[in-house]
Amino acid sequence: MIKPLTPNDVSFVVALEKEYDLSSCVDTSNSKTWIISNEMENIGFITWIESEDSADLLNIAISSKFSHQGYGSILLTAWLHTLKSFGIKHCFLEVHTSNTSAISFYKKHGFIINRVRKGYYQTTQEDAIEMRYDYE
């Protein structure tokens, strides 16, 4: 089941952000977050912001207990499908250049490399690959 974030889910999201060393986006006033869960527990989340006809994927994470079981694909596919119905035309994200598995994951779902952003990650000065998904 995929559902909007509730106050009861915040601690789960914060824990996953810490587990994967993600910047915290769940408390941002203009971000939106969905939770994917089964009947018994939360599995993962996706957080994004929208502006006019585009969306920026901020974070997506699946609990290590459920990784490599297809939940990330289910969540990302549902997100992309829903955004299209909202009139979104482009989705963007940034990923560490060293995160080749994430880059492959996004390519598998139709994202293309848009550009390299030099020194994007402040703590490590690592470059980021900006990826784009176009509905048109």
CATH number at residue 69: 3.40.630.30
27 band by pLDDT with thresholds 50, 70 and 90 = low
pLDDT over 90 at 111, yes or no: yes
Segments forming the whole domain that contains residue 109:
2-134
Q: Are 86 and 50 in contact (CB under 8 A)?
A: yes
Q: What is the pLDDT of residue 28?
A: 63
pLDDT at site 114: 93
Positive or negative CA dihedral for 102, 124, 127, 23? positive
Please give the Cα distance from 79 to 48 (Å, whole number): 10
DSSP SS3 for 124? coil
Q: What is the pLDDT of residues 32-54, one digit of tens each?
A: 999 999 989 999 999 999 988 99
Number of domains comprising the chain: 1
pLDDT recorded at residue 108: 97
